Structure 1
Amino acid sequence: MMRYKQQIRQVTAWIDVLTSTNIPIKSVAILINNSPVNKLFVYQLNHRNIKSYTLIKQLNPQILINQIIDNDCNIIIVDKSSYLLLQQILPSLQHNVVIVLTQEYWQPDWTWAFNHYRFLCQQDLP
């Protein structure tokens, strides 16, 4: 139970950070394999009337990539297990996208190659 409360606090903190940026949120892609955390993000975003697209295990990743591009997702929330999928998506994205790396404390070195995106890590949480 304690772990779940911690997850709720962290998801809420991320949503607060994202909604307080000067970027109007169009829609959000959630690339998180942890089902409870994924559901928390979906629930909290829906509660704020923000459309979200999420990873469905049985779905072909290309369908999700198309959804992200077609729906102009400008926020992508990712855990480490989805970095490969993120790397497939990055070349197709607009440049004004915010990418949340939920499990990184600091911005990893590989992100510097994608300097036209804004990466947020746990250090950006209040």
Structure 2
Amino acid sequence: VENVEYGGRRGGAVLRALQEVHAERIDVWLDEDEWRGYASVGVDAVLHVELAASCDALLFAPLDANTLAKAALGLADNLATCVLRAWPYDLLPDDVDGARALKPVVAAPAMNTVMWRQRITREHV
């Protein structure tokens, strides 16, 4: 593995786990990094758009019920869900071309059994 990008709120534990991947470089992005240094529309890069463009796969692990619901409904209120919203995984056929090929999203749901068995969870998955 060459490079790993991580965005989320559980920085410490996840970073330690990612270090086991033996990547040459691990970048950790937090919600507050989204608009840090942003000053001008059309000039400055927007982090979630840059991450969506530069990464090859998107992993949500662990994926809690709250983030699953946000993803299913298209809500984008933090860095991880904004990256998902900018991620080309469910484009209409006319919008898929060589420059914008579909890219994989991998999810590892993590919740208790009762939460997992709720009908709404099944709908969200």
Give TM-score scaled by structure 2 length.
Answer: 0.43
Q: Which has the larger radius of gyration?
A: 2
Give TM-score scaled by structure 1 length.
Answer: 0.43
More helix as a share of residues: 1
